[in-house]
Amino acid sequence: MPPFDDQDITRLLLDGNSHSHGAHHHLGWETYAGAQSADPDANLTTLHESFHNELNNLTAYGFLLQVYALLAKANRQEEKYVAIFEYLVAQSREAHEVYATFISTTITAEKKENKAGQPVDLLKNYPGYRKHYEKGRLLTAAFQGHYLQEVALTAIIISCFQSRAISERARRDLTGFQPDHLDYAEFPDGRLSLLGRKLPATYLRQSFEDFPPQHVFSHAAT
């Protein structure tokens, strides 16, 4: 597996020996804490990689990534599996990074021992990831507090990874699956782009406020 950088989530997350870094290859993850295992960078890196892994374990698209990663590893002479895997990764890279970066950064910032100012300050050693954090912040701007922002972003990103069309086509024919024939809006990055452009910041907040009384409390009363 080649090194991971901000251009490819199958490469090492963070280069260099002085700072913590990690790797996520869709079948697992690992981290290197660097010189200071208790440093906020170590916490951030560990959480970042774990959230990549969580997203793949929670969603249909993530499961598909794991399936084609296994097929590519087991059939190295079959270029089609590598091509499908790389295409699926390319169409989910931004959504994966927005989720892992925003959630890991806000959680790390909440720990008192890290003495962080703004969550984004934790990314000073990793400037390429600031854009992913800002994307998550904008998507959850209508929510007050990190906890609600984390819940909201989790709901958004998971919905981006739950394409029924992709799941059904791949299930019917794993070897003949042609993801490049599907509409861009079926892929995580396509869905995230549409949500970012067309979903008002207040929509999610209103949906959150309407959900409990309509769908939870009404059932509890019966």
Each residue's pLDDT, cut to its tens digit, for the chain (222 residues) gives: 332 344 444 443 223 344 555 554 554 445 544 444 557 777 888 888 889 989 999 999 999 999 998 898 888 878 899 999 999 999 999 999 999 999 999 998 887 555 656 888 888 888 999 999 999 999 998 888 888 899 889 999 999 999 999 989 888 888 889 998 999 999 999 999 988 877 666 676 676 666 554 444 334 433
Residue 192 lies in a domain: yes
Q: Which domain holds residue 186?
A: 21-220
**How far apart are alpha carbons 54 and 13 in whole angstroms?**
16
Residue 72 lies in a domain: yes
Residue 40 lies in a domain: yes
Residue 15 lies in a domain: no
**Which element (helix H / strand E) includes 114?**
none
- Whether 162 and 61 have beta carbons less than 8 Å apart is answered as yes
The residue with tokens 């960078």 is 41
**How far apart are alpha carbons 77 and 109 in whole angstroms?**
45
Residue 16 lies in a domain: no
Residue 1 lies in a domain: no
Residue 92 lies in a domain: yes
Residue 108 lies in a domain: yes
Q: State how many domains the chain has.
A: 1
**How far apart are alpha carbons 22 and 33 in whole angstroms?**
8
At 29 the three-state DSSP class reads strand
In this structure, what token pair is assigned to residue 165? 């069309």
